[in-house]
Amino acid sequence: MTTDRRVVARLRAQARQARASGHYAVAARLERQAVEWAGALGWTGERTRALLWEGYSLWQAGEDDLALAALLQAANERAATADPADVFAALIALVRLSLDRKSAAFCRALLDQARRYLADLGQPWSAPLDFLDGEWAYRRGEFAAAWDWHSRAWAGWRDEHPRLTAATHLWALCRTAFRRREAGEVARLAAALAALSPLQALERPLVQRAQLLDWRARRICYSTCDAAPVELALTVLATPQPGHGDGDARREAVRALALAGQWEAVAAALSQRALTDDRFESALLLGDLALNRARAALGWPAVDDDSGEAAVSLAAAPEAAPPWVEAAGAHYQTALLLAEAEDTRLETGWHGATVRERLARL
């Protein structure tokens, strides 16, 4: 029996090390072995915990369907020998994964289930649920509500299992503050995030992304002449980002380069790894890039369209609009189709309104 426990403990320790290094597929395989060992030995608690971390690792490795299956098993475990903290953490991970792909009804049902489970347990674990309500509001374009929920979540954060990391909370607040055009808050939160000096491979890029947002926020709100973070953006693009946030980091870096007028660097980045327009965020960015190329051709300053920065319509151009305008329009039309699907899924109108505002700038 002692030998068996050592085997399971060794597998889980190796999986933790793999996750810390950003090797999520390896971590998932190790956790799967731990699940099978614990299951064969009838150790429900160890099996539930391994299922939780297998699901999380699969999610970060991009295996969403497999992750859902593992997390559902962990979340539905009600044996007395299973740690309720692990079951609750599995519910939290399920909701986080579902927010990006499942219907509003499905996500809301999971959130309600997690709230009921927490009420039954009577534990002080509400911070992750408040965080998820903030994420829900953020995806619906309700940034004031997102700020309130994320602030509440961070105020109630406890550094003990089950929890989300401090870096996860601060990043959520930082990007929400940017959407609210609160440059001072973005700067404060970016500094707080950097002060954490996160060691996890998944969290270190959050510091860089926050620094890019800080520059963009100051550029918009204060019209600062700070040097653009070109080297930082290039570093983000040159460094493979672990986990499912890779595409988000690349888009933020490319946008920063475009706002800095580094069009050769933008072209080089897109030639090495093109942005596909099968996702709303990518199609929108491709439209914004083309629109700023059109502005540059007219000698106009770049505009951070993603922030709501005021801009003059190209209809006011004193000469014929450059060919980039047609490309921008095509990308925005693609984005509009994807926006309608997202609005239907999340029961909102924010995505479509965002694209139509862009089209009006043409």
- pLDDT surpassing 80 at residue 318: no
DSSP state of 33: H
What pLDDT was estimated at residue 203? Answer: 86
What pLDDT was estimated at residue 289? Answer: 97
What pLDDT was estimated at residue 243? Answer: 66
CA distance 82 to 69: 18
What pLDDT was estimated at residue 277? Answer: 79
Dihedrals φ, ψ of 348, to 5°? -145, 175
The average pLDDT across 334-362 equals 96
Q: Where do the structural domains in the chain lie, given as residue ranges? A: 275-362
Its pTM stands at: 0.93
DSSP state of 159: S
Q: What is the mean pLDDT of the chain?
A: 92
The average pLDDT across 187-200 equals 92
Question: Residue 271 — very low, low, confident or very high, per pLDDT cuts 50/70/90?
Answer: very high
- pLDDT surpassing 70 at residue 223: no
The average pLDDT across 72-95 equals 95
What pLDDT was estimated at residue 37? Answer: 94
Long-range contact set of residues 327-333: C-beta below 8 Å, sequence gap at least 24: 327/290, 328/287, 328/288, 328/290, 328/291, 328/294, 328/358, 328/362, 329/287, 329/359, 329/362, 331/277, 331/283, 331/284, 331/286, 331/287, 331/290, 332/283, 332/284, 332/287, 332/358, 332/359, 332/362
The average pLDDT across 133-158 equals 97
What pLDDT was estimated at residue 201? Answer: 75
Taking only the tens place, the pLDDT of each residue in 228-248 is 899 999 999 998 776 666 688
- pLDDT surpassing 60 at residue 1: no
Q: What SS3 state is found at 198? A: coil
The average pLDDT across 113-141 equals 96
- Of 3-12, 110-119, 312-321, which has the strongest mean pLDDT? 110-119
- pLDDT surpassing 80 at residue 224: no
Question: Residue 310 — very low, low, confident or very high, per pLDDT cuts 50/70/90?
Answer: confident
Place of tokens 């299992």: 161
- pLDDT surpassing 70 at residue 190: yes
- pLDDT surpassing 70 at residue 347: yes
Residues 6 or more apart whose Cβ sits within 8 Å of residue 153: 127, 128, 130, 131, 134, 169, 172
DSSP state of 348: -
What pLDDT was estimated at residue 276? Answer: 82
What pLDDT was estimated at residue 55? Answer: 97
Pick from 289, 294, 277: nearest CA to 333? 277
CA distance 360 to 362: 5
- Of 199-208, 266-275, 313-322, which has the strongest mean pLDDT? 266-275
